[in-house]
């Protein structure tokens, strides 16, 4: 009671946000799931839009993207919007979204032109083993399906094209790593990390292990 008297309405509002808003986001997301099951796709679009505004979970981003990709709730498919939401889920390491982005790239859906190299890049990223996907802070690796896509779409590609795709995949992973380092390290820790990361293989491996440990510790503290 003393705390409530001291902080008044501001404290109550903050308490409501901390305790109630996550539950409301969860409830809205579940309404989206229920609407899909009932075939009410227009409602599902609206619910998932609200859902990701409050809690941008990878699975819900993927579900929303899929609706736009299939044209459910819209008159026609909207590939550019679908690509946007698949990309946001892919940034979190969501393998199904990576594979859909790959398929869209090779088909030219949501892209200016079909792009086998871009598609192969996403298949490579999706096919990574689970133990190598910790950098995303999330993992839904689907290695078997991704490898199938690599074989299917890679048979018409040259070795040079595959190498270009591998380089792009490496650049993408490096961008994710740097983003995570900026998020989890202090200024001094970040400088140490970037200096080590830019050196030889041994120094880079040690830097990545430090980042992995930092992310794991942060995740554990949030769960507790």
Spatial contact of 48 and 29, defined as CB atoms under 8 Å apart: yes
Residue count of the chain? 224
H runs (alpha helix) in 91-136: 95-107, 116-126
Residue 19 scores a pLDDT above 50: no
Which 8-state DSSP code applies to residue 33?
A: H
Label residue 3 by pLDDT band (50, 70, 90). Answer: very low
Written as six digits, the tokens of 118 are 């871009």
Average pLDDT over residues 163-171: 96
Chain-wide mean pLDDT for the chain? 84
The fraction of the chain above a pLDDT of 70, given in percent, is: 85
Q: Nearest to residue 172, comparing CAs of 92, 105, 103, 108? A: 92
Do 97 and 62 contact (CB within 8 A), yes or no? yes
HEC sequence for 158-214: CHHHHHHHHHHHHHHHHHHHHHHHHHHCCHHHHHHHHHHHCCCHHHHHHHHHHHHHH
Q: How far apart are CA 196 and CA 201, in angstroms?
A: 9
pLDDT at 17: 36
pLDDT in tens, 175-202: 999 999 999 999 999 999 999 998 888 9
Q: Given this model, what pLDDT does residue 58 score? A: 86
**Sorting pLDDT into bands at 50, 70 and 90, what band is 1?**
very low
pLDDT band at 130 (very low <50, low <70, confident <90, very high): confident
Q: What is the pLDDT of residue 142?
A: 67
Arithmetic mean of pLDDT, 57-67:
91
User: What is the average pLDDT across 123-144?
Assistant: 79
d(CA 20, CA 165): 44
Q: Is the pLDDT of residue 10 over 60?
A: no
- Listed residue (112, 121, 117, 65) closest to 89, CA to CA: 65
Single pTM value for the model: 0.80
Q: What is the pLDDT of residue 25?
A: 61
User: Two tokens at 135?
Assistant: 């950098």
Give dist(CA 72, CA 62) in Å, integer. Answer: 14
Q: What is the structure's pLDDT at 138?
A: 67
- Note the pLDDT of residue 6: 40
CA–CA–CA angle 92, 95, 98 (5° rounding):
85
Q: Residue 171 has what pLDDT?
A: 94
Predicted local distance difference test score (pLDDT) of residue 216:
87
Predicted pLDDT of residue 140: 63
Helix 201-223 and helix 159-184, axial crossing angle in degrees, nearest 10: 50
Rounded distance between C-alpha atoms, residue 51 and residue 121, angstroms = 29
In the structure, what pLDDT confidence band is assigned to residue 30 with cuts at 50, 70 and 90?
confident
């Amino acid at each position: 009671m003393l705390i409530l008297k001291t902080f008044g309405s501001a404290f109550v509002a903050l308490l409501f946000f901390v305790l109630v808003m996550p539950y409301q986001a969860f409830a809205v997301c579940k309404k989206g799931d229920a609407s899909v099951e009932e075939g009410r796709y227009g409602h599902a679009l609206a619910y998932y839009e609200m859902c990701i505004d409050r809690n941008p979970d990878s699975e819900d981003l993927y579900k929303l993207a899929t609706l736009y990709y299939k044209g459910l709730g819209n008159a026609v498919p909207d590939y550019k919007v679908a690509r946007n939401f698949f990309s946001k889920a892919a940034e979190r390491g969501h393998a199904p979204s990576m594979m859909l982005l790959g398929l869209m790239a090779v088909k030219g859906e949501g892209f200016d032109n079909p792009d086998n190299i871009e598609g192969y890049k996403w298949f490579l990223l999706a096919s990574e083993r689970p133990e190598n996907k910790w950098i995303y802070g999330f993992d839904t690796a689907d290695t078997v399906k991704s490898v199938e896509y690599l074989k299917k779409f890679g048979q018409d590609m040259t070795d040079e094209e595959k190498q270009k795709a591998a380089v792009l995949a490496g650049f993408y992973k490096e961008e994710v790593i740097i983003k995570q380092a900026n998020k989890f390290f202090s200024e001094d820790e970040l400088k140490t990390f970037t200096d080590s990361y830019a050196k030889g293989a041994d120094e880079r491996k040690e830097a990545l292990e430090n980042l992995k440990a930092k992310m794991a510790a942060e995740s554990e503290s949030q769960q507790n």
